[in-house]
Amino acid sequence: MELIKINPDHYVVVDYLEIKIGDLVYVYCSEIEAEEIHQVAGYYNEQFIFVDGSQIHLHYCHKITHSTKPLEDVTVLVRPDGSDVSETIFDKVKEISLPEVKKLIGEVDMEELELKYHKKLMERREIAKNFRGQVAGNHPDMFTSREMLSMMEGFTDGYTQALEDTKNKKTIWEVEFIDGELKII
C-alpha cells in the first residue's frame, strides 16, 4: 500500500488489489504527467479499463482504499425537472483523518504552532507584569503587543523557512494498517 499526497489537504491510500467496476482509482502516468482520480465504468479488455469515456491501461491505475476527502458522488434528490442533487460521501473508499496523516508524515500545523508560541509569550508577559523585584516594571519579558506580533511573525517565518530548507519533498510513502492504524513502513 502507498500513501499519496494529491495536494496539501488531500491524501489517498492506494493498494494493488484487483480493480472492479465502480472502484475509484488513482491514475498516474509520468510520461504525460497525468495524475487523476476516476471511477471505473467497465473493462475494455484484460489490460484496459473505461473511465469517463476513455480507455486507460491498468498499469497506470491503483485502487483507492482510503482518502482524507470523500470521493464518491451519490444522488440524494431527484428534482421534478429530472435534474438531480448529488452529495460526495465515503462509502467504498474509507475515511482517514487529515491531521493524523500529517502527523504520521511529520507535517506541522503552522496555526497550531503559532497559537502555542503566542500562549507561551502571553504567559511570560503575565509573569513580567507581576514581577516585584529591584527593577520592577523593567522585566525583560514585558513585551508590548507590537513586539509580541513581531516576534510571532519572525518565529513563524523562520520556522517555515527552516521547514522549506530541510523539507522532504516526498509525496509517496509505503504504508500499512497495523491494528487499524496507518503506519509508515
Task: Give the pLDDT band of residue 97 (cuts 50, 70, 90).
Answer: very high
Residue 104 predicted with pLDDT over 50: yes
Structural domains in the chain?
2-100 (2.30.30), 108-170 (no CATH)
Question: Model's pTM, two decimal places?
Answer: 0.67
R_g over Cα of the chain: 25
What is the phi/psi pair of residue 184, to 5°?
-80, 135
Q: Which residues contact 137 (CB under 8 A, 6 or more apart)?
A: 131
Report the pLDDT averaged over residues 119-142.
Answer: 66
Handedness of CA 107, 108, 109, 111 (dihedral sign): negative
Question: Contact 126/113 with Cβ under 8 angstroms?
Answer: no
* Identity of the residue numbered 134: Q
Task: Give the pLDDT band of residue 30 (cuts 50, 70, 90).
Answer: confident
Report the pLDDT averaged over residues 12-26.
Answer: 91
Phi-psi region at 74: left, alpha or beta (left = phi > 0; alpha = psi -120 to 50): beta
